[in-house]
Amino acid sequence: MDPYYPGADHYLFGRYADASGATVDMSIAVFGSQHEGKELIAFGTGVLRQEDRWVRVADLPAIAGGSVMRITAPGPVERIVATWYRVGDATTNDETLVKIETMKARLFGGPQRAVAIHLSVEGADPRPIVRFLGALGPLGRVADHAAGMR
């Protein structure tokens, strides 16, 4: 699963394992600024894209304020993916709020950067994501570091 963000200025991908051997994949897409054709939230961007091999199976309960979905691909292989966005000082899973925060940054000044963070695990158990978040710390701080803000 490779999230799709055409126009992103920078991507970070990593796989992390805990002492039990459970792994979590982390992907981050960073936009220094957004404009037409280079947007964090747009049709066909994100975890799933048009005519992708991955298909959404179900929406799951949120994890730490992030939207969560179960996806599948031929194989079969199944993944749980949690998503957060950071625009300005707001960390959210709400795409409408991302658009509002983007507009506020344009109108009133402030950081123009935008960041998407996706955490995923293979299988149907989201608990490794929860444990990883506990070790990772605040996602706003992670997004800001990825964007070179702090």
Q: What pLDDT, on the 0 to 100 scale, is given for residue 7?
A: 87
Residue type, 32: G
Q: What is the mean pLDDT of residues 79-95?
A: 93
pLDDT band of residue 36 (cuts 50, 70, 90) is confident
3-state secondary structure of 15: strand
For residue 24, the model assigns a pLDDT of 97
Rounded to an integer, what distance in angstroms lies between the CA atom of residue 18 and that of residue 37?
Answer: 38
What single string gives the DSSP state of each residue in 65-120? TEEEEEEEETTTEEEEEEEEEEETTEEES-HHHHHHHHHHHHHH-S---EEEEEEE
3-state secondary structure 35-57: ECCECCCCCCCECCCCCCCCEEE
Per-residue model confidence as pLDDT tens digits over 94-114: 999 999 998 888 888 877 889
The span from the CA of 91 to the CA of 140, in Å, is 6
Give the rounded percent of residues in the chain with a pLDDT score beyond 70: 98
Tell me the per-residue pLDDT of 125-143, one tens digit each, with 9 for 90 and over.
999 999 999 999 999 999 9
Q: At which residue do the structure tokens 């409408």 appear?
A: 96
Q: Across residues 4-17, what is the average pLDDT?
A: 92
**What does pTM read for this prediction?**
0.92
